[in-house]
Structure 1
Amino acid sequence: MATLGLNAAFAAGSQLLGIRLDPYISCNFLIEIDGLLTGGFTEVTGLESEIQLEEYQEGGMNDYVHKFPTRTVYPNLVFSHGLTAIDSLWDWYESASKGKIKLRSGTIMLLDPKRLPITWWNFKDAYPIKWVGPQFDASNDTQVAVERVELVHRGISKPALARGLAVARSIV
């Protein structure tokens, strides 16, 4: 409840000071894997987290069902980008398909119009489980050839520094 009060106070103060808190644009992002920027991606999906619940129906209580949290689950991340001569994602997938699993951690960074990080999410211990190559269409000479790589991972986190930076930048 205290958080709601702080958010309301911040919103009221922002309106009084004329500060706008416009939503961020989702098209400006970078992906880093094991400390290396891995190219310009066109789409990232699967940046999600869900707490699974266990239901318990208590005898004599017919108004509701108890719901208890059990574990947090994360869907696979899917990265899409235009095909280039750099085959690092294909090489990683091909190695995994031959049983040579190399776990890698990374970061998905949301950028501002100046291409500076606004906030970011870390994923850990990922490896590729699916690769999808480009679709070819001779009748469309302007379509970019896109590859997709699907990664399984062991969780997503948003570091305190990333959360603090987003708040600090909204105040300035």
Structure 2
Amino acid sequence: MAANGATQDNVWPLPKFYFKVKLGSQDNTVSFQEISGLETETQVIEYRHGDSKQFSTIKMPGIAKTGNVTLKKGVFVKDNNFFKWYDAIKMNTIKRETVTIQLLDEGGKSTMTWTLINAWPTKISSLDLKSDANEVAIETLELAHEGITIANG
């Protein structure tokens, strides 16, 4: 039996190719080709008090840390919004945004949502140019953030 009383015959894992990304609080949806780095990790603290009857340590959760999230998208004519956002941090001012990434089902409804809190661009990689290439021009945006929340539905 799977969740919600459904049998395993009609429950399938979700494909990962149908998603959307919103940058900022307004409905600014941006199309991306690939997203990676949606991860969080808790550091382990080991402790043992001197009169413990066990000759081993206790492991406790410590500080949570998150890695940077990498987003890749095609380059479009007259679209330099990421460079404008990146330029905003050069004068020791950081424009932080909430970034929402939603995995969608076949009907376009959100099934899982990752929210990056206070995200800002740390790196932008432009495309490489090659005279005999037969590829789409892709740029990469790397975001640092102060936490990630994950919600279903």
Q: Report the TM-score, using the length of structure 2 for normalisation.
A: 0.85
Summarize the Cα distance change of 1:89–1:69 in structure 2 as closer, same or farther, 3 Å threshold.
same
- The equivalent residue for 1:6 is none
- The equivalent residue for 1:168 is none
Amino acid at match of 2:150: K
- Aligned-residue offset at 1:95: 1.9
- Aligned-residue offset at 1:105: 0.7
Computed over aligned residues only, the root mean square deviation of the Cα atoms, in angstroms, reads 2.1
Distance in structure 2 (CA, Å) of the matches to 1:74 and 1:87: 27
- Aligned-residue offset at 1:98: 3.6
- The equivalent residue for 1:52 is 43
Find out whether 1:154 has 2:149 as its counterpart: no
User: 2:23, 2:30 within 8 Å by CA — same for their partners in 1?
Assistant: no
User: 1:30, 1:37 within 8 Å by CA — same for their partners in 2?
Assistant: no
- The equivalent residue for 1:30 is 20
Q: Which runs of 5+ in 1 are unaligned?
A: 1-8, 166-172
Q: Which runs of 5+ in 2 are unaligned?
A: none
Q: Report the TM-score, using the length of structure 1 for normalisation.
A: 0.77
- The equivalent residue for 2:89 is 96
- The equivalent residue for 1:42 is 33
Distance in structure 1 (CA, Å) of the matches to 2:126 and 2:68: 18
Structure 1, 33-42 or 74-83: larger mean CA deviation: 33-42
- Name the structure with the higher strand share: 2
